[in-house]
Amino acid sequence: MGTRTKLLMAAMGWACATNAAAEDLMEIYRAAQQNDAVLASARATWTATQERLPQARAGLLPNVNANAATNYNMVRNEVRTQPPIVGSDRFFTFGGTISASQPIFRLQNVVVYREAGQQVVQADYVLASAQQDLILRVAQAYFDVLLAQFTVELTETQKSAVSEQLAQARRNFEVGVATITDTNEAQARFDTITAQEIAARNDLDNKITALRVIIGRAPGELKRLGAGFEPALPEPNNPDYWADRALKDNYAVRIAQANRDIAALEVERARAAHLPTVDLVASWNQAGATGAVSSGGSVTSADTRSRTAILGLQFAVPIYQGGAIQSRVREAMALEERSRQDLETNRRNALFLAQTGFAGVTSAAASIKAFEQALVSAQTAYESNRLGLEVGVRTTLDVLNVQQNVYQTRRDLAQAYFNYIVGMLRLKAAAGTLSDTDLEEMNRRLAG
């Protein structure tokens, strides 16, 4: 970066020494990773989705159940004869069963397992997209705060300069070398800047609050843009490259493609409901009774046991379900078509983001150069008008106007720098390549 640019950045207040304890972009990002509720929710969703695979796998594995029961029975029998015949039974019954089944042919279960695999893959894309979104939100909030701080400082400096102009106009009016018009114009400009300062401070408070929502605490002092930062064009500097990457790797496209694949499997699953199922089944049962039987004054005891084992194949054929299977097939096909159109929409959006993102970065880089030159010209015009005011060929209003132009150009230049930084990150996000490494690299460049 040349001496001219460094001087420009120093004039903008960016190259000044900052507190060594100030937080940089990566420190704010690490805090956001730990405390951002949106990312935490995405992580929880990802963790929950991982369980769909073992749940679906269970439909392909054996199913074993066991149950047992015991009962105490009291039975009294009476035959109304002369004399009556009375008998009573008191006995225990008990039994236990172990049953098992192993699916041999259940196509629906196989499709469900494949769906679960796609859902797990999709969950990875969703989490990665949330991580990219956090990077963008942190960067946007970080630089919004810096720009708001710079605007407040700029307004304060401008207010101080206009205050000096107002005092000078009043002195000139008192000694009779200027009219009251100069004083009124300076006063009007001072009042306007005072109102702008209030608005700027309110905007700074809002921007700090927005950053606080992301990191879960009040941010400390933030490190500013270093003097060594120089905007570079995207690498490679080819819009077609970024468009192609976006069509393939954009996470919204990947998520939509996974939805499309899942919808196709849903159609297959619905159609599989027409097919028969075959299971290997086995069971083992033991039952018995023990107790005493009383009849006619005599008591006898009883003890019985029985065991049963079964092994076989269970075959089931769905013949008619009231038209429900055909209806589910039609529903799944309609949802598959919706997912296909959603995929196309996301591909077009990704292409749009890549193309506008590339244009935005190149435009911001060009704007920085233009505003740098405009700031030099505005500063030169300001110095010339101040000299003209001293020799009487310029009015106070002329000086105030060019002074306002200087401060506005300084803010526009700052905005252009921040637009470039965030725009570069958004371009990489559109291409699906944005990662922590990109933020670390940007943070090193910011340090200068």
Phi, psi of 82 (to 5 degrees): -115, 110
Would you place residue 143 in the very low, low, confident or very high pLDDT band (cuts 50, 70, 90)? very high
User: What is Dmax (Cα atoms) for the chain?
Assistant: 146
pLDDT score for 355 = 96
31, containing H or E segment: helix 25-35
In the chain, % of residues over pLDDT 70: 91
How many Cβ atoms are within 10 Å of 265's Cβ, its own excluded? 20
The angle formed by the CA atoms of residues 376, 381 and 384, to the nearest 5 degrees, is 125
- For residue 425, which of 446, 402, 404, 410 has the smallest C-alpha distance? 446
Q: What is the spatial distance between Cα 99 and Cα 110, in angstroms, rounded to a whole number?
A: 23
Segment 309-322 shows an average pLDDT of 93
Please, what is the average pLDDT of the chain?
89
The set of residues, in sequence order, having a beta carbon less than 8 Å from that of 289 and lying 6+ positions away, is 91, 92, 93, 94, 302, 303, 304
The structure tokens listed for 235 are 């690498």
Average pLDDT over residues 241-267: 97
Model pTM score: 0.86
pLDDT at 390: 77
Does residue 379 register a pLDDT over 70?
A: yes
Domain ranges for the chain, please list them: 3-61+106-275+322-447
Question: Is pLDDT larger for residue 227 or for residue 20?
Answer: 227
CATH no., domain 3-61+106-275+322-447: 1.20.1600.10
- pLDDT over 60 (residue 16): no
Distance CA 103, CA 113 (A): 13
